[in-house]
A and B are shown apart, each in its own frame.
Chain A
């Protein structure tokens, strides 16, 4: 079978520019001011809630939520609420015209609870009123007769160690007959034998918290009724096409009657994946019923209990090694808590199992993973998607092993990491750039690792310093989660300006700038010629979701394919106009000339005008599809992702023994992203991902009472890092090992930038506190009180 033309184009470009240094490009990898920067400093971009300014006569939709985290709904009476002044309608589950479900992967999550409630954020009724205040006030008059059920918050009440068998308990999802959402495993080699004979074995239990995205823009949706029972929705959503599908299903409408537009997003980090569907569906339902514009705005408190979180993890890991420091085998049991609903839990679990042995050569592994339901806020997508959890455990284990072996953590890792030509634990051959070794060496050099590691060992102050490393890999795009494709349209306007359209969204992450840089470089025009339209389901084909660090690679490839075709056509015409060969045409808009004769030039606009008169199409659609991923459910063998981003992080901390307070002093991050396409964007990920990961390591967790109510539902009780918490210095370096199926060799960075942070900080803390403490640093967040208990336990301070 011959290759599709788009694959040939990507390979051709890769090989053509393989040896070209990033610094020799014009736009790729340069410090380019992002397309929307000036708008953003002026407060110009339209976020969903800003649209209120432009609509007339809206209705407001408020979600009445349950008082119980787990209960049967015996009956519900909304008649008094309906009589409340200003109230137009009160909707319950029976008022939904289509299917009452917004589950992202499996249909387990009603938009409005019908039979039972499963967590504290479940909606039981929607109040539609003339004003937001009317709607909120009327909610007191909705009365529900509940039959409370046992509230289960501990995943170890659902499954038990040694096989992760399900225990008898009150079922949360009785309709499914089980509260184990999904199971995955890896069975490679003969771990039993290895563990029987291994000279060195290290085992420990690890816990990671439920992290909140805390994007600063709370959820919002505005729906406008359209003629013919259609609806247009502006919503905070990362994935407008998924939102459209969910809304169409709830309303019982065909896709082409539901139009979803994603305006500017004030942060997403994965959290704006499924809640976008929910808020859009609520607004759309109200708009169709009232025939008026309908508005859903979440408060910060609703946002906390109303959208998905990072899965918390409990895991037991056991590593075997030889005396000379070779990793022999891994056994592990991993439990991910998905809370009340599946959301993206099945996929998060899958990504976690894929990465559960870290970026090492592992020939013997026996790993079981279960994703289980509890009555907590549901967990879904969050930057890293299962990988930060397992990487925390693996990288702590590696430090324990290094200590056991009397080796330096860096040397021990270098002995075991994946290199070009190796096979992953799944048996996948790494046949292209593996920049991990280079990344580690760079991080070690830039941090002064060996000297500091030695020096800090000797410290006896109440302020103890430590330095730690963590390494990781992260599969790009969605792998075996589904069909992996993307697309983009480029339309050169008659005046030479350019419109770029695609279905992917900008939530701040910066990959849209990567698309602009790829397009500008390929066509030879300055980025200022290009305007990016917001994602709109009615004007572009589905480009796949904006998730999984896939935009730069997948949509970037689609842009490159379209730009390449346009460029070829323009080169041909320019060659005719200027009298040389098409491959000798240089476009440096506004100038177009033959390489050997720069004096004799035409303008970009003349070239465009001439194309128009000659009937040469000035628009192009680019498509790219990744080869299907392979995964054997029984053994965990296959090729789960088409490429991996690699990274090494070194963190330096200071722990105050008297208070347990940790400060990160300095950090070095080195990422192999194939090729730096958008330099400022890449640095922002390295730094922003670091700080978000530092919050994960040191301060962030959601706390529940025994009835499943969340204690910390706002930003004064759920702490995220502020400007005063940041380290003095974060150095960001990049390795460019090149991926032949990425645009100019690029790979993704959005998610990877958080994966290695928490373990590098935890390893630094363990170093600061000294050998005896090592095993006890097994849980994040390492808050001052957690650390103080450890410090006390080990009598580090009298």
Chain B
């Protein structure tokens, strides 16, 4: 089936099997390696992407469902100011170990900050709940995100 959508500000069209998940489309057809496969069942958040600015597990979405939608991954945000602020805070606060979960966290945080520039700690914890990290213990991720509250 042919599907058209906006990927990182570019209009794209792909011909996919109706069962193909967005995660595979992004990784294999578009070579976007920031989108990780950690479980393929909506449990870990490593495959997080933004669909119309909302964080979504791309493993739980069929590619045919995103017809006409706007998909964003970290590759599409490199020139965005809010994004830059978030990644700098992650790097400087040391919110990173293996990095497998990191792009997912960044997108989730980005989506949160787009709608709230002063989220409370509870807002942050709630937003991050759907992204697992086995290395850092989350603390420095939360610290990074509280440090940029304007």
Hey, which bits of chain A sit against chain B, CB under 8 A?
31, 33-34, 36-47, 49-50, 52-53, 213-218, 264-269, 299-300, 507-510, 680-681, 683-684, 687-692, 714-716, 720-724, 726, 730
Contacts and interface: CB of A to CB of B under 8 A. Distances in A.
Nearest to A726: B138
A513 B11 CA distance: 41
A683 B27 CA distance: 33
Interface in B82-139: 87, 90-92, 94, 96-103, 106, 124-126, 128-139
Interface string B28-67: 1001111111111111101000000000000000000000
B138 A723 contact: yes
Contact of A722 (B90, B102, B132, B140): B132
A299 B59 CA distance: 13
Interface of B: 27-28, 31-44, 46, 73-75, 78, 87, 90-92, 94, 96-103, 106, 124-126, 128-142
A214 B134 contact: yes
Q: Which of A31, A34, A39, A722 is packed against the most chain B CB atoms within 10 Å? A: A722
In the A-B complex, the 9 residue pairs with the closest CB atoms: A43-B34, A508-B98, A266-B100, A40-B99, A691-B137, A680-B94, A508-B97, A715-B43, A723-B128
Nearest to B98: A508
Q: Which of B44, B46, B125 is packed against the most chain A CB atoms within 10 Å? A: B44
Q: Mostly helix, strand, loop or mixed at chain B's interface?
A: loop
B96 A34 contact: yes
Contacts of B129: 722-724
Nearest to A680: B94
A346 B87 CA distance: 43
B135 A508 contact: yes
A372 B94 CA distance: 41
Contact of A683 (B124, B140, B141, B142): B140
Given A216-B134, A723-B129, A730-B137, A267 B98 contact: yes
Nearest to A690: B137
Contacts of B44: 216, 300, 715
Contacts of B78: 42
A48 B133 CA distance: 19
A268 B75 CA distance: 26
Q: Mostly helix, strand, loop or mixed at chain A's interface?
A: loop
A50 B28 CA distance: 9
Contact of B34 (A42, A508, A509, A687): A42
Q: Which of B44, B99, B128, B130 is packed against the most chain A CB atoms within 10 Å? A: B99
A50 B37 CA distance: 10
Contact of A687 (B35, B43, B140): B140
A49 B37 contact: yes
A681 B75 CA distance: 27
A715 B131 CA distance: 11
11 contacts: A34-B96, A37-B94, A52-B28, A214-B132, A215-B100, A267-B97, A508-B100, A683-B94, A684-B140, A723-B129, A724-B129
Contacts of A41: 74, 87, 90-91, 96, 99, 102-103, 106
B39 A300 contact: yes
Contact of A684 (B34, B43, B97): B97
Contact of B134 (A264, A267, A300, A680): A267
A217 B98 contact: yes
B126 to A, nearest CB: 7
Contacts of B41: 300, 714-716
A690 B101 CA distance: 18
Q: Which of A33, A266, A680 is packed against the most chain B CB atoms within 10 Å? A: A266
A213 B135 CA distance: 10
